[in-house]
Structure 1
């Protein structure tokens, strides 16, 4: 019997992307609420409890409600909202977090899908903190740019309507209360809240995250090759991972550092650049905000949980 997959919120941006990714899969059965029953809570409860895996593509409060509607002990859940990313009893759905994380996801009943913005910084910072090259209290700031699809349907409609007049670079999160800060702090192993300064560009999807490091204040300043080796060793130890580490190089620019280059894939590529004479470094990650940053990660986690 094929596993039954229910996408609660299948008509939102992430839900539609997951449906598209699963469209050609013959090893799964996608179950959907009939249109005429879509607003019924009883219908949602029925389909949530009928699924082997329910993928929640909903606002936080609605996601919490969906979890409360599950009354059996068999339905597994992947929550794409921010509601459970640092909640007790939920595994974090970044399979490359460490060498045991994929196994933890595979055996979990509840998995919190990562947010798009934190994954790149976590991928580059966590190995450095684990290796002792950065202290947990190191001051961290994150910036970067993402496609407007990350803002959901309202932002997509606004950017499409404005066309070429839409902003090419629109900073947001200027209250310094970005909803992904707790997640980034927890899984990058930081003891203090980082600063997140994201921006939206006039392109549909794809993203780059950047973490600049002022290393001169450390008792022992790590070199660029040391930073690169720690990150490369981390991902080399993870079998079946989709995160690639670019070779260390001293370059002025790299054509592959393009926010759209991995669109439609679940890939992530990370880079380390440094100027050792200045004790400065940059940690970059390139990936699809709707791929590894959302729907692609959800499908990766689903396959792990189903043993596929």
Structure 2
């Protein structure tokens, strides 16, 4: 997709951004190690690389890219040495939820991270006895194998803050000065509004402290559609700086857009340590037929 900057964002320039409309959560199931018909090698490629892929995420390790997106009912990884060849990459279904469980329905926004010499997948899912989507919570899987498309994925359970069992989606993790943190989109009690929260982590599957709200929908460009939304937080770190890029406005609108917080203080858990940009960094570009740039991932 082609995106336009609404203002200069120089720190984003060295990175490629993979962004697709994140509202279509109920995509079909992924493959099980099947390979699409290969296409001839080319020196150029055309966006989009795939025809569908809500909530895209890319991890890189040992010369390979591992791509994930929402399928709705399982977790699928595509493995490729070249992102330009993503469309012909092998798809591996690495995890399928059990029936009649607390994490059976609406499997969204999987993210693959290599932490402490193991692979972890953070994802969102809800209980089998509920439809969409009031029971959504954040969960994590673990795999000790060197290649995340092989080996066994173990369920490590739900990530939650003590005494705050609230709606939680789009979890990601990052580190600052050796401390690991989780970010996600969540709600207050009895509210439909989605905000961005942060909490410290004691290990890759445990939140160790209370949550802090870092951002809420409050600027005019964040208020399109209903409910009011800040979601899809992603971290970009460059030259010692930490940026939090998030999605705002409802994903069903053409005005779904990406905003940004910059860590300007010393404590990531303090809301005052983050400075919120007053205008979005990515918006729709009707000239290029690009609408609703939302829940994204960064890769180099």
Same fold (TM over 0.5): no
- Bigger fraction of residues in strand: 2
TM-score w.r.t. length of structure 1: 0.28
Greater Rg over alpha carbons, structure: 1
Could you say which structure has the greater relative contact order, defined with CA pairs below 8 angstroms and 6 or more residues apart?
1
- Bigger fraction of residues in helix: 1
